[in-house]
Structure 1
Amino acid sequence: MADPLLRIDALHAGYGDAVVLHGIDLAIADGAAVALLGRNGAGKSTVLKTILNAGPKLVAGRISLDGRDLRALGADARARAGLMLVPEDRRVFPHITVAENIALGVHAARPGVKPMTMDEIWDLFPALVPFAERAGYALSGGQQQMVAVARGVIARPRLLLLDEPVEGLAPVIVDQMAAEIRRLHRDHGLTVLVTEQNLSFARAVTDTLHLIDSGELVHSGDWAGFDADPTLKTRYLAV
Structure 2
Amino acid sequence: MSATDTKPLLTVRGVKTYYGNIIALKGVDIDVHQGEIVTLIGANGAGKSTLMMTICGNPRAREGSIVYDGEDITRLPTHEIARLRIAQSPEGRRIFPRMTVLENLQMGASIDGMEFFDTDIQYMFDLFPRLKERLHQRGGTLSGGEQQMLAIARALMARPKLLMLDEPSLGLAPLIVKQIFDAIRELNRRDGLTVFLVEQNAFHALKLAHRGYVMVNGVITMSGSGRELLENPEVRAAYLEGGAH
TM-score range, shorter chain: over 0.9
Amino acid corresponding to residue 53 of structure 2 in structure 1: K
- Structure 1, unmatched stretches of 5+, are none
SS in 2 for 1:233: helix
* Runs of 4+ off more than 6 Å: 236-239
Amino acid corresponding to residue 48 of structure 2 in structure 1: K
Amino acid corresponding to residue 215 of structure 1 in structure 2: G
Which of 84, 91, 95 is residue 92 of structure 1 equivalent to? 95
Is structure 2 residue 47 aligned with structure 1 residue 51?
Answer: no
Is structure 2 residue 11 aligned with structure 1 residue 7?
Answer: yes
In 1, the alpha carbon distance for the partners of 2:238 and 2:193 equals 31
In 2, the alpha carbon distance for the partners of 1:214 and 1:237 equals 18
Amino acid corresponding to residue 66 of structure 1 in structure 2: D
Alpha-carbon distance, 1:206 to partner: 1.4
TM-score between the two structures when normalised by the length of structure 2: 0.90
SS in 1 for 2:136: coil
Amino acid corresponding to residue 204 of structure 2 in structure 1: F
Q: Contact 2:15/2:65 (CA < 8 Å) preserved in 1?
A: yes
Q: Contact 1:99/1:132 (CA < 8 Å) preserved in 2?
A: yes
Is structure 2 residue 113 aligned with structure 1 residue 135?
Answer: no
Q: Contact 2:55/2:66 (CA < 8 Å) preserved in 1?
A: yes
In 2, the alpha carbon distance for the partners of 1:10 and 1:99 equals 41
Q: Considering only aligned residues, what root-mean-square deviation do their CA atoms show, in Å?
A: 2.0
Q: Aligned ranges for residues 11-22 of structure 1 at < 5 Å?
A: 11-22=15-26
Q: Using a 3 Å threshold, how does the CA distance of structure 1 residues 200 and 224 change in structure 2: closer, same or farther?
A: closer
Deviations 1:123-151 (A, max 9, x none): 22212110000011110000000000000
Which of 76, 80, 83 is residue 83 of structure 2 equivalent to? 80
Amino acid corresponding to residue 50 of structure 1 in structure 2: T
Q: Aligned ranges for residues 104-115 of structure 1 at < 5 Å?
A: 104-109=107-112, 114=116
Q: Contact 2:17/2:63 (CA < 8 Å) preserved in 1?
A: yes
Q: Using a 3 Å threshold, how does the CA distance of structure 1 residues 235 and 72 change in structure 2: closer, same or farther?
A: same
SS in 2 for 1:89: coil
Aligned residues: 237
In 2, the alpha carbon distance for the partners of 1:177 and 1:155 equals 18
- Structure 2, unmatched stretches of 5+, are none
Residue 117 of structure 1 corresponds to which residue in structure 2?
Answer: 120
In 2, the alpha carbon distance for the partners of 1:72 and 1:210 equals 24
Residue 28 of structure 2 corresponds to which residue in structure 1?
Answer: 24
In 1, the alpha carbon distance for the partners of 2:168 and 2:184 equals 10
Residue 147 of structure 2 corresponds to which residue in structure 1?
Answer: 144
Residue 126 of structure 1 corresponds to which residue in structure 2?
Answer: 129
Q: Contact 2:54/2:61 (CA < 8 Å) preserved in 1?
A: yes
Percent of aligned pairs with the same amino acid = 39
Is structure 2 residue 16 aligned with structure 1 residue 42?
Answer: no
